Amino acid sequence: MKKWTVVIILGCAQFVMVLDGTVMNVSISTVVDDLDTTVAAMQAAITFYTLTMAAVMLLGAKLGDVWGRRRAFVIGSCIYALGSLTTALSPNVAVLFLGWSIIEGLGAVLVIPAIAALVADNYQGKERITAYAVIGAVSGAAVAAGPLIGGFVTTYFSWRYVFVAEVVIMAGVVLCARLITDNTVRQSVRIDVLSVFLSALGLVFVVFGMLQSKTWGWIAPLQSPEIGGVAIEPLGISMTAWLMLAGGALIYAFVRRQLQLVGRGDAPLVHVEMFSISQLRSGLSVLGAQYAVTAGLFFMVPVYLQMTLGLDPLQTGLKIFPLSISLILFSIVGTGLSRIWAPLRIVRTGQVILVFSAAILLGSATAELRSGLFAAGMFLAGTALGLLASQLGNVNMSSVTEKETSEVGGLQGVFQNLGSSLGTALIGSILIGALSTSFASGVASSELPPDTKATISQQTQGGVSIVPAAAVADIALEAGLDSAEAATLTTIYRDSQLSSLRISFFGLIVISLLSLFFSRGIPTEVAGRQRTKAAQG
């Protein structure tokens, strides 16, 4: 038992890191009401929690090499605990954003790469494969347990207690950290500040542009940002397109900068030549796609369940329960299968099941969500995500030598959290954008009086917010509509929410299909029979 103490400590930290990505989703309506904010603001907070990690994860991995991985792990755990405490005490969404999206994210960028590297320091051979599989299974369990934990605690206590519990867990992790071996020699290197700036700003621009697409539009401007009352839409193009273009340019400049540093003998923030390793390239790409689907699913389903169907956080968690069970179960099954099946076979099986599950979820999207079909779709989605979670950590870490494990741990964190932030930003923006379009179309084709249509059009010119469907009638009455018109508007709004959910499910199908093209470099040999050297592509 003693030899597995380290992976238990690291697993506890990993559980908390991943838990935060899903635990708040089922509490969205409660937090919106508690902090007097909006679903769009919560979408931004959820997105920026993972985006903060993605943006500076490479710096966190490099600091681990400089400070020592165990020291970085402890410092990051302390920062994370401070962020959790700030979030627990937040009086408004701005403080919640600071504590959760920024401080916790900054703590996580030190912890997550260190976990991957410390596993390599403390385990060898088959034990290392098992340890990585355990960490992957813990991540899957955290994704699965988040809705249940968040739903139960929010319904019977307060969502704030989740973050209080995180403070306690991270304190225990810090106290036990001395049991972890850190044999890696610290590096004496200068961290290139320009590289940090280029990578962080590039990722922020891309994701923030995507996040704002629901308001600004993708290319043709909808509602442009304003400075001094003047709309900003350069050359008649939406700021979303400009931000994403600028972000892409900055990321390209980052890659060129890394090659330049290597060429003159300086230490880069990341060795981009590692992307020539087909196994690593495929593993990271599939990991990013997996987390994009997971984050998108865990954002849009709770929003519909709570805002349209009026379920409370616990009921929402229970509705998602089939996914939770199968994700945990098939993380374990996938670990067992790795002894007889090649990683590619397991990953491809998971990807195909993921496409099939998204199609079933699309078919279940009726007004009340067909219970049996929806449960089957969620169970299959969990099956797919569990199989993927059981494989990708070891696929990535076994693609390089031991001295590169910290760097790959950082890259894993980047792709995992970039995938999550893109999934929440993209699917969330599709959901909100489709709601506005569908609602406007529904109002235009309804039998409401022309003057009423004009009033609604004027008041929703800046887009339609996600609000509880049950509250639409009161909002309509306050705006001067009569009871019949308010009832008609409520029906249109419910139908629009359902339509936007279907479009979002279709978006998940597209992402799942695309991920199939990323998996070509996954190993085709059973893990125990693979060569230890990196598979060069």
Q: Which letter does DSSP use for residue 26 in this model?
A: G
Q: How far apart are CA 20 and CA 461, in angstroms?
A: 34
Q: What is the pLDDT of residues 230-240, one digit of tens each?
A: 557 777 788 88
Q: Measured between alpha carbons, how far is residue 32 from residues 25, 88, 96, 298, 398 in Å?
A: 11, 15, 11, 17, 43
Q: Which of 110, 116, 99 is nearest to 56 (CA)?
A: 110
Q: Quote the pLDDT of residue 534.
A: 43
In the chain, where the domains are located: 1-185, 192-268, 436-502
Q: Which of 20, 502, 17, 22 is nearest to 302 (CA)?
A: 22
Evaluate if residue 495 carries a pLDDT over 80.
yes
Helices 405-444/39-67 angle, 10° precision: 170
Higher-confidence residue of 275 and 405: namely 275
Higher-confidence residue of 473 and 10: namely 10
DSSP 262-325: HHTTPPPSS-GGGGG-HHHHHHHHHHHHHHHHHHHHHHHHHHHHHHTS---HHHHHHHTHHHHH
Residue 424 CA, distance from chain mean position: 6
Higher-confidence residue of 44 and 95: namely 95
Neighbours of 100 (CB within 10 A): 25
Q: What is the topology classification, in CATH, of domain 1-185?
A: Growth Hormone; Chain: A; (1.20.1250)
Average pLDDT over residues 267-276: 82
Evaluate if residue 289 carries a pLDDT over 70.
yes
**Sequence letter at residue 102:** I
Under 8 Å CB-to-CB from 122, ≥6 apart: which residues?
6, 7, 131, 180, 181
- pTM for this model (two decimals): 0.79
Evaluate if residue 170 carries a pLDDT over 50.
yes
Q: Quote the pLDDT of residue 228.
A: 54
Instruction: Confirm if 167 and 87 have CB atoms less than 8 A apart.
Output: no
Instruction: Confirm if 428 and 47 have CB atoms less than 8 A apart.
Output: yes
Lowest mean pLDDT among 93-107, 142-156, 162-176: 142-156
Q: Quote the pLDDT of residue 245.
A: 92
pLDDT bin (cut points 50, 70, 90) of residue 537 is very low
Q: How far apart are CA 95 and CA 41, in angstroms?
A: 12
Task: Give the chain's largest Cα–Cα span.
Answer: 75
Q: Measured between alpha carbons, how far is residue 109 from residues 122, 393, 425, 510 in Å?
A: 21, 17, 20, 30
